[in-house]
Each structure stands twice: as structure tokens, then as C-alpha cells.
Amino acid sequence: MGLECHPVVGLLFPGQGAQFVGMGRDLAARFPEARVVFEAADEALGAPLSRIAWEGPEEELTATRNAQPAILTHSVAVLRVLGERLDGAMAAGHSLGEFTAYLAAGSLDFEAAVRAVRRRGELMYETGLERPGAMAAVLGLDDEAVDALCDAATAGEAVCVPANYNAPSQVVISGDVAAVERVVERAGEGGARRVVRLNVSGAFHSPLMAAAEDGLREHLERVDVRAPAFPVVSNVTAEPVEDPAEARRLLVRQLTSPVRWAASVRTMVDRGVTELYELGPGSVLAGLMRRIDRSVEVTSLGTAEQVAEFLDS
């Protein structure tokens, strides 16, 4: 009799940029567990987050203070509907999605998590007003080439750094407007296939976000962070975290550190994960995984139809 092989499941949670008007509305209409999550978010924040997510306007949803809790809420709504049908052994989240990953692992309660990412979004926006910055996605150059372009463009107080190592030949840069523009101008000469300026309210995951660190640290000190039931891979280190104090520290450092996404999902695969599930709005992370490692399948679960099909399978 042969041994039965069970898949090792990894959970992935999207970050800012995955939001869209109408997100989660079909899920809440079809599954009572999902509606309860959206109602709990409204109550925890004292604001109509569900209305903003479902009806917009887009400009209001895209605001950092709304987009971050809306994405987390949508992801958690999917988690609640799936219940024990999806037993994760490891998790990772892209930027704000790392908070959702800790929630999935039992480190954070929902109300605490949704308030934390609302505060995080407020701090990031306020910091962006104090020191305006820019971000751009550089496509078609490897990590080392983008690193070199950032180093060359950084002069005096004008800084440009890699912000997201998303996938091979896809790196997002962040920093002062002048320095980012220098990289944008030179990237084409360096062989970049395309450079896309991002519509953001600040230079996220760069030294320009340093002023937000104290506020987030103070907020997280008041939050009960427990040891995760399974490891969560940190954006900062691309290594699994199991200590609550380390989780707090790295969630703060994440504000000014690059998101090492490609390395993070490779860590999950190297640690034995054989199936990945992207929980929440969109399928951005599934798309990145096709560029990182096609040998591991990613299933996106965000719409009512996708979730119902998974539950019926």
C-alpha cells in the first residue's frame, strides 16, 4: 500500500494596489460569514468601510487609510468562509498583507489588525505629505541593475531605493521625486523594457517613511501579538518568523525596508510548500508567482464564484 501524499499549503495575502470598487460585495451577499467580517470592520473603525469598498468612489477607496483596511477585510472574509477547509502551514503577505498573514496564523485578532492597518495607512499618508516622494515599477531589468541605477541616482539628500523585489525583472523603486525621475530617465538607456510611474501618496518602503515608524511602533505596543500557529515569512528578511516580539519589530521595519517578495515565496517553496492560495482581491500575487516559479500552482480565492468552486471541489 502506497503512502498518501498530502499537499503543504501556503497562504498569500495581497497588499495595496489590489483594491477595486465592488471588492468583496458578492462574497458578503453569498456567504453570511463574509458579511459579518465587513460589518465587524465598520464597527471597529467607526466608519463605513464596507460602503467604500463596495460602492466607492474609487478615489476614496484608493486613499491609503481606506485601501489597506479594505484589502485586509476582504482577505479575512475569504478566510472566514473557508474555515478549516484550507489548513495553512506557512503564510506571507505583500506589504500590508503581512498583517493579514499574522491574523491568519492566530497572532492578531481581526479588530486589532484592521485598526492597525488603518493607523498604518494614516501614518504613511501623513508622512508622504511631510516629505513628498514617488514610486515607479521598472520592468525588464534584473535586481542588480536596478540597485545600481538607484545608487547612481541617489545624490545629496535625494534618495532612491528598491522598494519591492516583486519578481525576476520586476522591481519597484521609491524615493524623492528628483531621484526617482533620474532612474526613470536612465532605465531605458540601461535596457529596461518599460517603466511605469505609480499613483501613490508617498515613497513607501523607503527611508522617506522613517517618520511613520515611531507612530506604528507605539500603536503595535498596545496590540496583543501572539506567537503564530505556523510561520509567517517576513517581507524584510524573507525568513519565517515565530516570535511575537520579532513580528512587531519587523512590521515596523517594513515601512522603510524593501518588500523581498520573490525571495519570500521561494523560502516557502524551499521549506516544503507545494500549493499556494492567494486570499483576497485580485490575482496579482498569482501573476507574480508565474514569473518567480511556475512549478508551484497558485489558486486565487477572492470572488464568491472562486470561493464556492473551491468549497465544492
Task: Return the active site residues.
Answer: 95, 205
Strand order in the sheet with 170-175: 160-167, 170-175, 134-139, 194-197
Is the CB of residue 19 less than 8 Å from the CB of residue 292?
Answer: no
Amino acid at the residue 258: P
**Maximal C-alpha separation, the chain:** 69
Measured CA to CA, the distance from residue 284 to residue 300 in angstroms comes to: 9
Which grid cell sits at 296? Answer: 508551484
Which grid cell sits at 44? Answer: 471597529
To 10 degrees, the CA torsion angle through 96, 97, 103, 107?
Answer: -60
The number of CA neighbours under 13 Å toward the Cβ of 229 is 9
Contacts of 8 by beta carbon, 8 Å cutoff, 6+ apart: 89, 90, 272, 273, 274, 275
Which segments of 46-135 does DSSP mark as H helices, in order? 49-55, 58-62, 64-82, 97-104, 110-130
Measured CA to CA, the distance from residue 238 to residue 267 in angstroms comes to: 7
Measured CA to CA, the distance from residue 111 to residue 124 in angstroms comes to: 20
- CB burial of 246-255 (b: ≥16 within 10 Å; e: otherwise) equals ebbbbbbbbb
Residue length, the chain?
A: 313
